[in-house]
A = this chain, B = another copy of it.
Amino acid sequence: MKQTKIGLFGFGNVGQGLYNILHETRGIKGEVEKIGIKNPEKKRSLLQKWFTTKPVDLIQNENVDIVVELINDENEAFSIVKESLENNKNVVTANKKMLAYRLKELIELQKKHQTSLLYEASVCGSIPIIRNLEEYYDNDLLHSISGIFSGSVNYILSKMFNEKSTFEIALQRAQELGFSEENPEDDINGTDSLHKLVILALHGFGLLVNPNDVFHFGISTLHKKDIKFAVEKSKKIKLVSRMFRTLDNKVIMYVMPSLVNQSNALYSVENEYNAVIIGASFSNQQILLGKGSGGNPTASAVLSDINALTYSYKYEYKKMNQNSDLSYSSDITLTIYLRFNSKSDLQHIKFEQIYEKYYSAGFNYIIGKIHLDELISSKDYLLENNLFIAEIN
């Protein structure tokens, strides 16, 4: 059986994981041909001859069947993917940021050059969510996709809730374990989860949405007071990405902390695990759980894409045309917990209705209904003043 030759860009956590899987497992039809890196000085676990600093050595290499792009910089990643597709190479990438901003161009490039770009590893690590949305929820009436999309943030929250760990120690541990992005800011402020949500909007609802238009709020302002509040109410705080269809064909999307109680499927999703909950008309609630972070789980998703390319699999993006009457919207009112500092904060953030208000010496909160657009416009104020919000549902 012919071996598929892989041109691999990047030799970090996931790249090394992939190399190990490919070369330690029998029955896999792929092997690495050459590895493209940026820094030739860095100490590597393989001999020099495996590496090159020139992208063309892979992209224009006739021996290379598939290009696998696993670098961090999203602009360089885009160049590599674009040139590879233009050189008639099929490509696998895990770069969610690059994808979230460039999906439109990438779809056109695939069409123009009759090539295939797969990126299962970009969303929720080992969970096969993109392929399932492409293949399986095709003509079931999909209502909603939500879940925990950041293994790194979920690990931090688990440590803080279950082991009373501080944020700093939890973050450090997450980085040591290889769960964090190179820039942990993207995890912490919800951007990373947002990028994944944007990718799923395409495969779930056929929508191309600009990430900049979508509200996202992370856990950078989370305080132990918020954790105490949650624990007292027998709830946990999880960073939840959410997307659902309304009756008038709008698709609402946002990423923000959520106060979940024990009856919620996300309550017991802990550590680096991710979860995706799919709501559909006839199958009702489907839940997929798996490791969302770490070299091996992510590499296993890359491997599955490599394998799919060996039988010419490509995403069909069917829903892009099917559901042309759907559009992205932020026109929704949500129930929100807000921890604030002083009464003057409430003049900047307008609630439509207030259910609970609590003042004390060191802890003030309000629970009420607020429009998502109001959250979008007060986001900077919230962050600058270290206020914390979480959805209640």
Contacts and interface: CB of A to CB of B under 8 A. Distances in A.
Interface of A: 17, 21, 25, 27-29, 125-128, 131-132, 135-136, 138-141, 265, 268, 280-291, 296-297, 299-301, 303-304, 307-308, 322
B303 A139 contact: yes
Q: Chain A at the B interface: mostly helix, strand, loop or mixed?
A: mixed
- Which among A21, A132, A286 has the greatest number of chain B C-beta atoms within 10 A? A286
Given A136-B128, A136-B131, A138-B307, A300 B283 contact: yes
Given A290-B284, A300-B280, A135 B131 contact: yes
Given A283-B300, A287-B290, 7 more contacts: A25-B141, A29-B139, A128-B135, A138-B304, A138-B307, A284-B290, A284-B291
B286 A288 contact: yes
A80 B98 CA distance: 51
B286 A299 contact: no
A391 to B, nearest CB: 22
Contacts of A304: 136, 138-140
15 contacts: A25-B139, A28-B139, A29-B139, A126-B286, A131-B136, A135-B308, A138-B304, A139-B304, A265-B289, A282-B297, A282-B299, A283-B290, A283-B301, A284-B297, A289-B289
Contacts of A296: 281-284
